[in-house]
Amino acid sequence: MAGSRGDGYESTRHENSLEVAARSPGHHREPIRGNLAAVAACAANLGMRHALGLRCQTRGTSDNRATMTENRAEASLTLSATGLQIATRESRLALWQAEHVRDLLARRLGLHVGLLGMTTRGDQILDRALSKVGGKGLFVKELEVALEEGRAHLAVHSLKDVPMELPEGFVLAAVLEREDPRDALVSTHFASVAALPQGAVVGTSSLRRVVQLMSLRPDLRIEPLRGNLDTRLRKLDEGGFDAIVLAAAGLKRLGLAARIRATFDEQQMIPAAGQGALAIEVRSDAETLRSQLAELTHVPTWLAVHAERAVSRALGGSCSMPLAAHAVWQGQTLVIDAALGDVEQPSRPLLRTRAQALIELSGDAVATAEATALGELAAAQLRRLGADGYLAATLA
């Protein structure tokens, strides 16, 4: 059932979801040249001062969360004879990602790069949900300490694991072209979600996946599943689950695409913000390195993930929030879909929204600010649908 809201939005109620859509009109924009103040002034006219301020100051996502310690100023970023060092987790997937960036830096920029393997608290705590012990930041903190102390020069992350607010003194210097952003069903016996028997046990610890699975199949029994990708596959193969849900990108990167029985349509299960994309984090004072790494950025992905992350940031940005946000390009129009569930009542109808805007495919500050503003628009639409009531359970 659809109806006019009288405020430029249209809303639709379905059996298992509420939807609202709005179009943010595009506009012609002449290239902006000149100093930072002039660029910021123009963006202010677009109502995007905050987003542009972040972008212009950092040339990346400079979301501040904490203050760097004094030894940041003492640590030297002068390259040693062995070249750059990448801080990375030691799981098979994390090492693949770091090696991929290492090879890319050698091939495209002629840089010699080594790896500094590390174990993070997120890798060590496997008996509790991340939302209960500190969130996805547990996967990146130790890597940031290595950057802070000068033991490494850059860190490679799955962007979906990077907190929405970065500590002061750190920035995302580059975002690489996205792999398949979809979620994948992995099962030894069943070829799709529809084929799962009544009451089947499905493994995932992602609240985003939980609420969307419950929307698709309220009869399923969702059980927590932690550990790296190989550990999760082993638990499935040992018979602990009828099926598990994983990111398709990780399986494909490790040559395990054959394990995928079905991929979820992006409307059926909206991915997480940044899913499928790799990000490179550095210290904000590493100006030369940041300039070099910027050449690796895939602009369509850069803008899409800025929109996605803006949705989460505007709503509080926490892994305890069952929020999905995914943006795709349709020509020069960036279209973002977002969904929010109730963490305490996963079977409660999802709030769904869509927004779109005409954005120039450019990695400059103005285009980045426009992408961020699009994400903020989607977040505002979710609030119109009642997101605050859903978020109250998250904050309680």
Least confident of 126-130, 134-138, 147-151, 284-288: 126-130
* Nearest CA among 305, 277, 278 for reference residue 61: 305
CA separation, residue 241 to residues 212, 223, 245, 264, 353 (Å): 18, 8, 11, 18, 32
* Nearest CA among 320, 313, 297, 299 for reference residue 374: 313
Burial class (CB in 10 A: 0-12, 13-18, 19+), 114: middle
Is residue 250 a contact partner of residue 259, using CB atoms and an 8 Å limit? no
Asked if residue 74 has pLDDT above 50, the reply is no
| Residues facing 282 on adjacent strands | 171
| Residues facing 320 on adjacent strands | none
- The CATH code of domain 183-263 reads 3.40.190.10
* Nearest CA among 254, 282, 250 for reference residue 263: 250
Q: Please give the share of the chain, as a percent, with pLDDT higher than 70.
A: 73
- The one-letter code for the residue type at 283 is R
Asked if residue 156 has pLDDT above 50, the reply is yes
**Residue 353 or residue 50, greater confidence:** 353
Residue range 192-203, pLDDT digits in tens: 999 999 999 999
Residue range 27-68, pLDDT digits in tens: 433 333 333 333 333 333 333 333 322 233 333 333 433 334
Neighbouring CB atoms inside 10 A of 267's CB total 11
What tokens does 190 get? 């069943």
Residue range 33-43, pLDDT digits in tens: 333 333 333 33
Q: What is the mean pLDDT of residues 88-102?
A: 95
**Residue 97 or residue 228, greater confidence:** 97
Fold of 1-60+305-396: Double Stranded RNA Binding Domain (3.30.160)
The sign of the torsion formed by the CA atoms of 103, 106, 112, 118 equals negative
Q: What is the mean pLDDT of residues 103-108?
A: 96
For residue 320, the model assigns a pLDDT of 78
Residue range 264-302, pLDDT digits in tens: 999 999 999 999 999 999 999 999 999 999 999 999 999
Is residue 262 a contact partner of residue 191, using CB atoms and an 8 Å limit? yes
* Strand pairing class (201-203; 221-223): parallel
For residue 60, the model assigns a pLDDT of 35
- The one-letter code for the residue type at 200 is A
Give the pLDDT band of residue 19 (cuts 50, 70, 90). very low
Number of helices (H), then strands (E), in the chain? 14, 16
Most confident option among 8-17, 57-66, 223-232, 250-259: 250-259
Residue range 306-346, pLDDT digits in tens: 999 999 999 987 767 899 999 999 999 999 999 999 978 87
Class of domain 61-180+271-297: alpha beta
- Report the alpha-carbon distance of residue 23 to residue 9 in Å, rounded: 8
Average of per-residue pLDDT values in the chain: 80
What are the strands, taking DSSP E only, across the chain? 2-4, 10-13, 17-24, 84-89, 113-118, 154-158, 170-175, 183-186, 201-203, 221-223, 243-247, 260-263, 278-283, 323-330, 333-340, 350-358
For residue 138, the model assigns a pLDDT of 63
**Residue 49 or residue 146, greater confidence:** 146
- Report the alpha-carbon distance of residue 50 to residue 170 in Å, rounded: 18
- Report the alpha-carbon distance of residue 23 to residue 106 in Å, rounded: 42
For residue 395, the model assigns a pLDDT of 62
SS (H, E, C) 19-65: EEEEEECCCCCCCCCCCHHHHHHHHHHCCCHHHHHHHHHHCCCCCCC
Domain spans in the chain, listed from the N-terminal domain onward: 1-60+305-396, 61-180+271-297, 183-263
Full-model pTM = 0.78
Give the pLDDT band of residue 396 (cuts 50, 70, 90). low
* Nearest CA among 163, 178, 169, 179 for reference residue 120: 163
Active site residues: 161
Q: Would you give the DSSP letter of residue 291? A: H
For residue 63, the model assigns a pLDDT of 40
Asked if residue 72 has pLDDT above 70, the reply is no
Q: What is the mean pLDDT of residues 73-80?
A: 40
Burial class (CB in 10 A: 0-12, 13-18, 19+), 108: exposed
Residue range 173-188, pLDDT digits in tens: 999 999 999 999 999 9
Give the pLDDT band of residue 255 (cuts 50, 70, 90). very high
Q: What is the mean pLDDT of residues 217-232?
A: 93
For residue 343, the model assigns a pLDDT of 79
* Strand pairing class (243-247; 201-203): parallel
Is residue 136 a contact partner of residue 207, using CB atoms and an 8 Å limit? no
Domains 1-60+305-396 and 61-180+271-297 share a fold: no
